[in-house]
Amino acid sequence: MPHWKRTYWVVWVANLITSIGMMSFLPFFPSLLEEMGVQGEASVARWAGLCFAAAPLTATFSAPLWGALGDRVGRKIMVCRAMLAISLFVGGMAFVSHPWQLLTLRCMQGLFSGFIPPSITLVSVAAPADRQGRLAGNLTTSLAIGGLVGPMFGGLIAAAFGSHQTVFLIVGALSGVAALLVWFGAVEDRSTRRAPSEDGQGGGVLASTLDDLRQVFQNPALRSAAALVFALQFSLGAINPLLDLYVRDLMAGVDPDHSWLASLAEWGVSSGHGMDARERLQTFATSLLFGTMAVANLASLSAWGMYGDRLGHRRALVHCAVLCILALTLQAAAALYLVLLVGRMVMGVGMAGTGPLAFGLAAGEASADRRGGAFGVVFSARTLAVAIGGSVGGLLYPWLGARGVLVGSNVLLVVALWAFLHQGGAKPEWAAGDAAA
C-alpha cells in the first residue's frame, strides 16, 4: 500500500474517533450548566450559547496560523498537537465547577485543537493531484459520521455512568489514542515543508509564518472562495435555531391526528411524557428536518469530491452554491411542511460539497509548502459562520421572521457567489499553477 494511502486511512480513523468524542458532549451543555447552579431557562440558554460558540470563534483566528506553522514545522505534529489539546482541555472540563471555567476551557480548546485543516493537509500534500476533492470529501465523511454518532455515544456514556463528567474524561482519553495512532501510523512527506532558508529577515519562525499567511490572503481566488464558504455556512447556521418556530407556524392549521406525519410522530416520540398530539407532531417534524438533511449530507460528501476532481473544484463549487440558493428559496417560499422538507434535503446535498470542493480548490491554488495556511483560511471561514450564524439569525428573527432570515441569508449567498464568479487579479508567484508552469 502506498504511503499516502496508509496515511489517509490512519487519519480517517483518527478523525472519526476524535469527531465522535467532540460531538458527544455538545448537546449536554444545558444540563451540565444546571448542575453547576445556573438557574433560569434564559440564563442556561445564554451560557450554553456562549460555551457552544466559544470554540469555533477562537478557532477562526488560530486555524490559519496553525496551518501556516504546520507548513514549516510539520503537518503530522500539528495533527497530534491538536488532538492532545482536545485531550487536555476537554478532559479538564470534567473538573469544572463554574460556567466561567467551562467557557475558558472551550476558548482554549478552540485556540489549540483545530485538527481538521492539518489532517486534510497531511493527506493532501502526498496524494495525487487528481484525487484532492474525493480525499477531502472522504475525510469529511468521517466527521459527518462522528456528528451523527457522537450525541448518541455521549448519551449512552452519561446514562451508563450516571455522570456527564465521565463523558469528558472518555473523550479526552479517545483523543489521546487518536493522537498516538497518527504519530505512529501516519507517514508525512517532509519534502513539502517550507524550507528554513525561506524564513523572513530577522523575524524568526513566527514572523515568517505570519508573512506566509499574508501572502496566502493575496490570492484573490482563495479570498473569494473563503467568502463563499462563509456565506454557505452562515445561510445554514442562521436558520437552524429557528426551524422549530418555523415548523410551528407552517403546521398551525394541520390536524395533528390526521396528517401524514401523525402516525410517524406517534411512533417517533411516543415516550414524550406530557406532550399532546400537536406537540408530538411538531417535535417529530422538526427532528425530521435535521435528520433528513444529515443523511442527505452524508450520502453526498464523496460524490461531490469526485465531481470536483472531474469537473474542476471551482466550477463544482459554483454548482454547489446554486443548489443551496435553490434550497433556501424553497424553504423561504414554503407554504407546506413537505416543501420545507424537500428544501432541507436539497440543502443537505448542496452543503455536502462545501468542504471537499473548497479544500480541493485551495489545494489547486496553493503550492504544497503553503497548503496548510490555505486550508486554515478556508476552515476559519466556516468556523466564523458557525460561531455567529445562529446568533445573528436569532437577533433578526423578531423583525424578519424565519422567512425573512432565509431571504436575507439567500441574498448574502447570491452576493458572495457573484463575487466568486467575478474575482479578478493575477495569481501570486507562489500559487500552484504558476509553480507548475
The Cα–Cα gap between 259 and 380 comes to 43
The percentage of residues in the chain with a pLDDT greater than 90, rounded to a whole number, is 38
pLDDT value of position 103: 93
Q: Comparing 152-166, 177-191, 267-281, which segment has the lowest mean pLDDT?
A: 267-281
pLDDT value of position 369: 79
Residue with cell 456565506: 231
Query: What residue type is assigned to position 167 of the chain?
Result: V
The Cα–Cα gap between 357 and 350 comes to 11
The percentage of residues in the chain with a pLDDT greater than 70, rounded to a whole number, is 86
| CB neighbour burial string for 256-285, b if at least 16 within 10 angstroms, e if fewer | beebebbeebeebbeeeeebeebebbbbbb
Strongest mean pLDDT among 33-47, 98-112, 138-152, 262-276: 98-112
pLDDT value of position 250: 84
The Cα–Cα gap between 4 and 417 comes to 34
Whether the predicted pLDDT of 424 surpasses 70: no
Q: Using one digit for the tens of pLDDT, what is the confidence trace for 44-58? A: 877 887 888 888 889
Q: Which residue has the higher pLDDT, 261 or 355?
A: 355
Average pLDDT in the 228-252 region? 87
Whether the predicted pLDDT of 124 surpasses 70: yes
Whether the predicted pLDDT of 394 surpasses 60: yes
The Cα–Cα gap between 330 and 328 comes to 5
Residue 18: all three cell numbers together: 476524535
Residue 356: all three cell numbers together: 471537499
Neighbour-count burial of 94, counting CB atoms closer than 10 A to its CB (0-12 exposed, 13-18 middle, 19+ buried): middle
Whether the predicted pLDDT of 115 surpasses 60: yes
The Cα–Cα gap between 419 and 11 comes to 34
Mean of pLDDT over the chain:
84
Whether the predicted pLDDT of 119 surpasses 80: yes
CA neighbor of 352 nearest in space, from 389, 383, 391, 307: 307
Q: Kindly indicate the confidence band of residue 323, based on its pLDDT and cuts at 50, 70 and 90.
A: very high
pLDDT value of position 205: 59
Strongest mean pLDDT among 27-36, 345-354, 422-431: 345-354
Whether the predicted pLDDT of 270 surpasses 50: no
The Cα–Cα gap between 226 and 272 comes to 42
255 phi, psi to nearest 5 deg: -75, 115
Whether the predicted pLDDT of 86 surpasses 90: yes
Strongest mean pLDDT among 61-70, 84-93, 153-162: 84-93
Whether the predicted pLDDT of 345 surpasses 90: yes
CA neighbor of 370 nearest in space, from 241, 228, 261, 222: 222
Q: Which residue has the higher pLDDT, 179 or 391?
A: 179
Q: Kindly indicate the confidence band of residue 425, based on its pLDDT and cuts at 50, 70 and 90.
A: very low
pTM: 0.82
The Cα–Cα gap between 22 and 113 comes to 11
Q: Comparing 196-210, 239-253, 371-385, which segment has the lowest mean pLDDT?
A: 196-210
CA neighbor of 241 nearest in space, from 52, 382, 100: 52
Q: Are 377 and 225 in contact (CB under 8 A)?
A: no
Q: Are 216 and 431 in contact (CB under 8 A)?
A: no
Q: Kindly indicate the confidence band of residue 3, based on its pLDDT and cuts at 50, 70 and 90.
A: confident
pLDDT value of position 368: 80
Q: Which residue has the higher pLDDT, 216 or 298?
A: 298
Q: Which residue has the higher pLDDT, 211 or 301?
A: 301
Average pLDDT in the 129-153 region? 86
Whether the predicted pLDDT of 154 surpasses 80: yes
- The three-state secondary structure class of 162 is coil
Average pLDDT in the 327-350 region? 94
Q: Is 243 left (phi over 0), alpha (psi -120 to 50) or beta?
A: alpha
Domains by residue range for the chain, with CATH: 1-185 (1.20.1250.20), 209-437 (1.20.1250.20)
The Cα–Cα gap between 209 and 347 comes to 37
CA neighbor of 66 nearest in space, from 55, 79, 53: 79
Q: Using one digit for the tens of pLDDT, what is the confidence trace for 99-114? A: 999 999 999 999 998 8
